[in-house]
């Protein structure tokens, strides 16, 4: 009986036909973060990472989109007795006194049925757990999940399981899209756009120095999800004194100018008919399409999930600002296009293009780059 500890990546349902893209992204992020491993391989619908340190590798890989869950697991040959032995030993090392356990086996193998292994493992643990006073629970009522996944060649007995971010692997669409981050809502919309599998090009629009610092801190939560060693950012200063509707429309016009110049065929608009009037969303979309650029609404149809997305990337402290925005009644009918055009042109004059390396010092790198360029 042979076994080794590996990292098991379960692709999201949307990534099953893009598993090669996900495997490539896993290799890239491990290299970018200096996580040593002996290989990234596929086993049926799973991606297996033979990492030197599975715990550190797991924290790096879990930054990626396109993943349903990640597990640190013991890999063993798909032999009934071998798997049963490893399940028993692993569970006994994890169970605490008095805990309820539940054995769950997914996947399949030609050698035996998943249900047979579930029953045998549960019976074995009942017999072995008497000193611990641990008892079998149910799928809805347990303290410790003992999870096993079967393939024809191997079985994976999970030691630790973490939830993934879902969505599609980064750049699996093989299409570029421009996005602007100017507040909390637009940051969440940017996250959703990355989740759709695009290659992201980001514009940051700020009003003053304190606003810039806040936006850069938000960016620091988003950049690790972009699987590129060098990330190009467009940064400009915009007058936001004319109100949110005018500012958003000016940003749309600004993005049209940048996308046209950089030959980017898509623009993601950080507005949603769940928060803004449909007529306002359509107005901005028409501005984009009239310039032969494709408009995208990454937040269309999203509701309370927006707050879960904020938590996913560590933006919990900004949730109250998002809630305030959802409660506002703004006047979207008095938008002056001459003012919009003036704001967009003035912002374009301050536009800077900077390159940063994704890492813990992004906040300082971005601020220092802007000071240098000025």
DSSP assignment of 33-45 equals TT--EEEEEEETT
What are the beta bridge partners of residue 49?
7, 40
The CA distance from 50 to 45, in Å, is 16
What are the chain's domains?
Answer: 3-166 (3.30.2130.30), 176-373 (3.40.50.620)
What percent of the chain is predicted at pLDDT more than 70? 87
Residue 198 carries which DSSP code? P
When pLDDT is averaged across residues 15-28 and rounded to a whole number, the result is 96
| Alpha-carbon distances, residue 310 vs 109, 187, 189, 267 (angstroms) | 39, 9, 10, 22
Kindly calculate the radius of gyration of the chain based on its CA atoms and give it in whole angstroms: 25
CA–CA separation, 279 vs 277, rounded Å? 5
Q: Give pLDDT tens digits for 312-346.
A: 666 666 666 666 666 666 566 667 888 999 999 99
Residue 374, pLDDT score: 45
DSSP 305-347: HHHHHHHHTT-GGGHHHHHHHHH-----S---HHHHHHHHHHH
Of 94-103, 206-215, 245-254, the least confident: 206-215
Mean per-residue pLDDT for 353-364?
A: 73
DSSP-derived pairing of the beta strands 230-237 and 199-206: parallel
What lies within 8 Å, CB to CB, of 286 at 6+ separation is: none
The Cα 325–Cα 275 span in angstroms is: 8
Average pLDDT, the chain: 88
Give the residue-averaged pLDDT of 75-97.
94
Phi, psi values for residue 245, rounded to 5°: -60, -45
| pTM across the whole model | 0.89
> Any idea which residue has 């001459």 for tokens?
338
Q: Tell me: the pLDDT tens digits for 218-242?
A: 888 888 889 988 888 999 998 866 7
Structure tokens, 61: 């890989």
Q: In this predicted structure, what is the pLDDT of residue 144? A: 94
At residue 363 the predicted structure's pLDDT band, cuts being 50, 70 and 90, is low
Cα separation of 86 and 217, whole Å?
44
Token pair of 26, please?
Answer: 């896993």
- pLDDT number for residue 117: 96
Q: What is the pLDDT of residue 360?
A: 61
Give me the mean pLDDT over the 127-139 stretch.
91
- Model confidence over 245-300: pLDDT tens digits? 899 999 999 999 999 999 999 999 988 887 888 889 999 999 999 999 999 998 87
Q: Which of 275, 258, 259, 360 is nearest to 321 (CA)?
A: 275
């Amino acid at each position: 009986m042979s076994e080794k500890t590996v990292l098991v990546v379960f692709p999201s349902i949307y990534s099953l036909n893009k598993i090669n893209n996900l495997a490539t992204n896993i290799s890239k992020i491990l290299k970018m973060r200096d996580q040593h491993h002996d290989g990234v391989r596929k086993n049926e619908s799973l991606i297996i990472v033979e990492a030197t340190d599975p715990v550190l590798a797991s924290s790096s890989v879990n930054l990626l989109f396109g993943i349903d869950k990640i597990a640190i697991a013991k890999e063993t040959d798909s032999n009934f007795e071998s798997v049963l032995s490893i399940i028993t030993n692993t569970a006994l090392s994890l169970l605490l006194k008095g805990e309820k356990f539940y054995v769950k086996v997914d996947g399949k193998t030609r050698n035996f049925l998943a249900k047979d292994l579930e029953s045998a493992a549960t019976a074995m643990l009942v017999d072995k757990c008497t000193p611990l006073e641990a008892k079998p629970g149910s799928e809805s009522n347990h303290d410790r999940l003992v999870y096993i996944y079967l393939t024809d060649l191997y079985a994976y007995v999970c030691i630790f399981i973490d939830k993934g971010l879902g969505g599609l692997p980064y750049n699996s669409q093989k299409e570029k899209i421009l996005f602007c981050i100017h507040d909390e809502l637009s940051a969440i919309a940017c996250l959703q756009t990355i989740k759709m599998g695009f290659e992201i090009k980001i514009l940051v629009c700020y009003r003053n120095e304190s606003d810039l610092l806040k936006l850069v801190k938000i960016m620091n939560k988003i950049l690790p999800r972009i699987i590129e060693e060098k990330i190009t950012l467009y940064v400009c200063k915009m007058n936001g004194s004319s109100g949110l509707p005018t500012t958003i429309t000016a940003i749309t016009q600004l993005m049209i100018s940048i996308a046209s110049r950089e030959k980017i065929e898509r623009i993601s608009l950080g507005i949603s008919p769940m928060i803004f009037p449909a007529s306002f969303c359509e107005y901005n979309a028409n501005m984009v399409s009239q310039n032969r650029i494709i408009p995208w609404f990454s937040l269309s149809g999203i509701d309370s999930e927006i707050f879960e997305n904020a938590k996913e990337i560590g933006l919990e402290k900004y949730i109250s600002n998002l809630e305030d925005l959802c409660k506002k009644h703004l006047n979207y009918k008095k938008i002056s296009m001459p003012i919009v055009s003036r704001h967009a042109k003035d912002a374009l004059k301050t536009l800077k293009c900077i390159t940063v390396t994704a890492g813990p010092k992004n906040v300082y790198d971005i601020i220092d780059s802007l000071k240098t360029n000025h």
